[in-house]
Chains A and B, each alone.
Chain A
Amino acid sequence: MMPLTIALSKGRLLDPTLELLGNIGIAPATNRGRELVFESTDGRFRFLLVKPVDVATYVEQGVADLGVVGGDTLMESERDVLQPLDLGFGACRIVVAARTGRPPAESGRTRHRVATKYPNIAERFFAQQRIPVETIVLGGSVELAPNTGLADWIVDLVESGRTLRDNGLEPIAEIATTRAQLIVNRASQKIRREEIQALIDDLTKELSC
């Protein structure tokens, strides 16, 4: 039997993911070191270590059967994958933030400028709210944008809110609360349904303890 392939996000989600898998008896076969591909001790699973933004791509294309990905990354990627289980950890809020204590004033502009790493989420949210905006896509340090005049608002991920406060910003609207998600390739769900369902059942049981 071919192992089920699971794409894991490098970075902040990796340790809690491996801990959760360890709790249901799925552990890496070797001391991982720097390997990007490794198997579980029982050979039933193969893991791929990839960048968080790439997890959903690996799963959508079927290179991985399953994946663990942040809800924010998944929402932004708009990939066509199944999302059967909320894993509960890695909670974050996606918010719109503006400079503290600055009520909106006449600017002569026809739309607000929004800086973000999440253009799809931002555009979808403002379209729903019927607020015309211009999105400016940044790769990081988004909280700098309002203070440098690059943008009026930002859309960003907030864990504790401290980074916002340190940069003189405050949330003015919450778009979503996200947690790590288990995702599944559509064809894998069909052709390896029992194995995938057994894994989901084990995870569900563990998460409810």
Chain B
Amino acid sequence: MNQLGRLATPQDAPPTPAAVAVSDRLRRLFAGWAYIEGRFDVLLPVDGFSPEERRSMYTVAAETGDPLALRPDFTSLVAQEAATLGRGIARPLRRAYAGRAFRRPGAQQRREIHQAGVELIGTAGALADAEIVALASEGLESLGLRGAQIHLGHVGFIRALLRTSGLTEAAESEVCNLLARHDRAALADSLASSCVPADAADALSHLLDLAGSESVLNEARGLTDDPVAHGALDELETLAALLSQANLTTPVILDLTEVRDRSYYTGIRFEAFVPSSGFPVLRGGRYDHLLERYGAREPAVGCAFEIDRIAEVVTSDTGEDAKTALLRFPADRWGSALDEARTLRAQGRRVALDVGHLDGPALDAYRSAHHIVETIDWRYDSAFAPERGPS
């Protein structure tokens, strides 16, 4: 069904004050970790993207008739930049970004997403992974998100289980859909009717239990002998040990239950959740194949904060910014009133001049609609001491 009419469309409107505050705070954090913010075009040639990615992108025709796309995310742009312009620069390369990207809406029904994130390019290994997770945790903390949790997993485990199961491509896709929906009963039926070896079927049917403390890793080891699967668990264990030294304030839950996006990531993956949002507020992981697309072979790990989702949750500490004083003045004293407003603004106040000479109900309506916390009356007889009335 065509739902175009019902969805929010891309807008050239500035983000909300809350979104700006969230984005600014994260950009300061990224800069403090020595991540350099890149600047990226909104319109790009489509050649850098896979056919699957192109399906979710908006395209327009360039002057030449060639297709251009609205940027669908930033990670691929950072990868492209690192593999081309940034090719000769000594590694590791630390890159940050903040801005809006555009995608055909999936289930979450937003065409425009506002992201800020970081990429660490050119270094493999647990320390690089740990840096990104620690930075993510600091970001969540600096935003004052209460009750946040980071769920950390590794795609290597599920990929190894699927490989050893010997499922056909179609059956694998069916099994993964059921795993992604947590439909255990249908999963059991599907595995029973396939010719998956009993131990592999058992491992797949226990996958959804693998979330919690570090004991999860041992439970997972008990499900398979596959050395690749064990390698993934070892990597996760090393990372968890590093993170335990880091005094992170955000709890890290080991979670091997995610099966989606398993071909995008190549190693660790994580998402962060808060109690007051029905969607992840942050996603990240390792994608060592991403730069290959642009002719370079380099490891990369990064994460992206979902600014709009976070801004919906963080509203309390931006309310202060919106408080405004209304400066009222006689028509012939605009210049003096402007002087007074300038003084107040220099003190960091937000001041609106009452150019409409509002009174009575119109004044009341304006006050409540525009968060006027104070009304300042500028009069002839008090030219040097404006009289401040209550709001």
Which chain A residues have a beta carbon within 8 Å of chain B's beta carbons?
A: 2, 60-63, 78-86, 119-120, 137, 184-193
In the complex, which range does the number of interface residues on chain B fall in? Answer: 20 to 34
The answer to whether B106 has its CB under 8 Å from any CB of chain A is yes
Q: When the two chains form the complex, which single residue of B181, B182, B184, B278 contacts A187, counting CB atoms closer than 8 Å?
A: B278
Report how far A107 CA is from B278 CA in the complex, Å: 50
Chain A residues contacting B183 (CB-CB under 8 Å) are 83-84
Contact A190 B273 (CB under 8 A): yes
Q: Mark B273-305, 1 if CB is under 8 A from A, else 0.
A: 111011110000000000000000000000000
What are 19 A-B pairs with beta-carbon distances under 8 A?
A: A60-B108, A61-B278, A62-B277, A63-B278, A78-B107, A80-B106, A80-B107, A83-B181, A84-B183, A120-B1, A186-B279, A186-B280, A187-B279, A189-B182, A190-B271, A190-B273, A191-B147, A191-B149, A191-B273
Residue of B nearest to A123 (CB): B1
Q: How far is the CB of B113 from chain A (nearest CB, A)?
A: 15
Residue of A nearest to B279 (CB): A187
Which 5 pairs across A and B sit closest by C-beta, in order of nearness?
A62-B278, A80-B107, A82-B182, A84-B182, A191-B273
Residue of A nearest to B1 (CB): A119
Q: How far is the CB of A20 from chain B (nearest CB, A)?
A: 16
Q: How far is the CB of A46 from chain B (nearest CB, A)?
A: 14
Contact B149 A190 (CB under 8 A): yes
Given contacts A190-B151, A191-B149, A82 and B181 within 8 Å (CB-CB): yes
Residue of B nearest to A196 (CB): B182
Chain B residues contacting A189 (CB-CB under 8 Å) are 182
The main secondary structure of chain A at its interface with chain B is mixed
Contact A83 B182 (CB under 8 A): yes
Report how far A55 CA is from B84 CA in the complex, Å: 48
Q: Mark B255-285, 1 if CB is under 8 A from A, else 0.
A: 1000000000000000101110111100000
Chain B residues contacting A120 (CB-CB under 8 Å) are 1
Given A80-B107, A83-B181, A190-B271, 14 additional A-B pairs, CB 8 A: A62-B277, A79-B107, A119-B1, A120-B1, A184-B182, A186-B280, A187-B273, A187-B278, A187-B279, A190-B149, A190-B151, A190-B273, A192-B275, A193-B211
Contact A80 B278 (CB under 8 A): no
Report how far A174 CA is from B350 CA in the complex, Å: 66
Chain B residues contacting A119 (CB-CB under 8 Å) are 1
Q: Mark B144-182, 1 if CB is under 8 A from A, else 0.
A: 000101010000000000000000000000000000011
Chain B residues contacting A78 (CB-CB under 8 Å) are 107
Contact A60 B278 (CB under 8 A): yes
CB-CB contacts below 8 Å: B196-210 with A: none
The answer to whether B185 has its CB under 8 Å from any CB of chain A is yes
